[in-house]
Amino acid sequence: MADLAITLDFSSSIPFYKQIHDQVIFALKTGLLKPGEKIYPAQNLAKKLGVSINTVLKTYRILELEGYLVKRRGYGAYIAGKGGNSISGIPTDRKIKNYTEHTEEEL
C-alpha cells in the first residue's frame, strides 16, 4: 500500500478534496504512485488527515471518473493502469462537474 504523504493546508480557500486530489495526481505524475498500487482506504485516510470520510470519498470518486483510480468493492482502491477505467458516454469533464455540483449541494 502506498504511504503517500498528503498534507492539507487548513487555512487555504482550496477545498480539502481538491488538495487531496492534486497531491495524488502529483504523486502519479512523479512516479510516487504506480499502476496497480493499492491506496489507503477512505476511512483510514480521512482519520489520518483529520477530515470527513465524505471528503475522501468525493476525492476518490473524482479520481475514478478521471480514470486514475479503480475501486473494487471488498478489495479497496487501486491506481489504474494505462487507459484507466474510462466510462463511455458522457465526457469526463462533464461527469466530474455534475458530480461535484451534486455533492456540494449535499454538504
* 23-69 confidence digits (pLDDT tens): 999 999 998 999 999 999 999 999 999 999 999 999 999 999 999 99
Instruction: Examine residue 8 and state whether it is found in any structural domain, yes or no.
Output: no
- Measure the CA–CA gap between 68 and 88, rounded to whole angstroms: 15
How many domains are there within the chain? 1
For 27-73, what is the HEC assignment?
HHHCCCCCCCCEECCHHHHHHHHCCCHHHHHHHHHHHHHCCCEEEEC
Task: With respect to residue 3, please indicate whether it lies within any of the assigned structural domains.
Answer: no
Does pTM surpass 0.95? no
Average pLDDT, the chain: 82
Q: Which three cell numbers stand for residue 32?
A: 510516487
Does some domain include residue 7? no
The verdict on residue 9 lying in a domain is no
Say if 102 falls within a structural domain.
yes
Residue 93 resides in a domain: yes
CATH code of 25's domain: 1.10.10.10
Q: Is residue 5 part of a domain?
A: no
Domain of 35? 16-106
User: Does some domain include residue 81?
Assistant: yes
